[in-house]
Structure 1
């Protein structure tokens, strides 16, 4: 059973990056050391790993990564802070 990781990084500019990998330690090394100059995180270093989840199904991991990337900052922060009960309400649009 091969694990996949969905993870969120906080960049030095306060933005979040969501990614997926099968080797979190190796992927973090690449992010922190600027392995790819054209990557989103290269100019936002240092980055901090603020959330990760282990999944055994790569298709589900890919689905979750895409889902989280569409979330608002507030919803990502609720996930990061373990406020899972707040997630459904943060998905609702606010009408004025």
Structure 2
């Protein structure tokens, strides 16, 4: 089983959200459908722009917690290193 740390964005250089899950497709779908009425639903943060897989829940959890403390520019740099156009990876997976 894999565990994922992911970054969602409202748009390029928009509002960011960092999360962790063991079912990335399902979790992103939940964000897109606004299943939970929290931060991402309120601010329209539903485009998955970066993710990474981990073998262990603990390592994914630690990575998520560390990244949430990062300054905004570090998060943007991480996104743009692998996804320079901030493409919604959900659209890539489902095309």
TM-score of Structure 1 vs Structure 2, range by shorter chain: 0.7 to 0.9
Q: Which structure exhibits the higher relative contact order, with contacts defined as CA atoms closer than 8 Å and separated by 6 or more residues?
A: 2
Cα distance, 1:29 vs structure 2: 0.7
Report matched runs for 1:8-87 at 5 Å: 8-12=7-11, 14-37=14-37, 39-45=38-44, 47-82=46-81
Q: Give the TM-score taking structure 2 as reference length.
A: 0.79
CA RMSD of aligned residues (A): 1.7
Work out which of the two has the higher radius of gyration on C-alpha atoms and give 1 or 2: 1
Q: Which runs of 4+ in 1 moved over 4 A?
A: none
Mapped to 2, the partners of 1:16 and 1:6 lie a distance apart of: 13
What is the total number of aligned residue pairs between the two structures? 81
For 2:33 and 2:45, locate their aligned partners in 1 and report how far apart those are by CA, in whole Å.
9
Shift of 1:43: 1.4
Instruction: Report deviation, 1:82.
Output: 1.7
Task: Indicate yes or no: 2:2 matched with 1:3.
Answer: yes
**TM-score with structure 1 length normalisation?**
0.78
Structure 1 runs not aligned, ≥5 long: 84-96
SS in 2 for 1:36: coil
Q: Which runs of 5+ in 2 are unaligned?
A: 83-95
